[in-house]
Amino acid sequence: MNRMEPERLAREGQQAPLDLYCMGSLLADEASRSGQRAFARSIETALELLLGNMSREDQRSALRLSYELTLGGEEPAPPRLRLVYSRD
């Protein structure tokens, strides 16, 4: 392990909740689009818990990133994502 390795691992560890939130948001969005609404709701509930355990700054980043990722799709963001993103 070189001298930079612990710093890199610490940064990656800090990014893990953000990455999980974004991936979960994409999965929930895809589940909803494919008609699996109950599954999408259960993912959204888990994402709420994950988001609640993040710092305010990480919450903003996670919401912004997931919103931007969702807008990158072929359809507009679902109303629920727009609502969550606009709470602040």
CA angle 62, 64, 68 (to 5 degrees): 115
**Using an 8 Å Cβ cutoff, are 66 and 22 in contact?**
yes
Give the pLDDT score at 42: 92
- Sign of CA pseudo-dihedral 14, 15, 16, 21: positive
pLDDT above 50 (res 6)? no
- Spell out where 35-88 has E strands: none
Tell whether pTM > 0.85: no
Q: Any idea which of 27-36, 45-54, 78-87 has the lowest mean pLDDT?
A: 78-87
**Using an 8 Å Cβ cutoff, are 62 and 21 in contact?**
yes
d(CA 48, CA 20): 12
Q: Which residue has the higher pLDDT, 80 or 9?
A: 80
Q: For the residues 30-59, what does the mean pLDDT come to?
A: 90
Give the pLDDT score at 1: 47
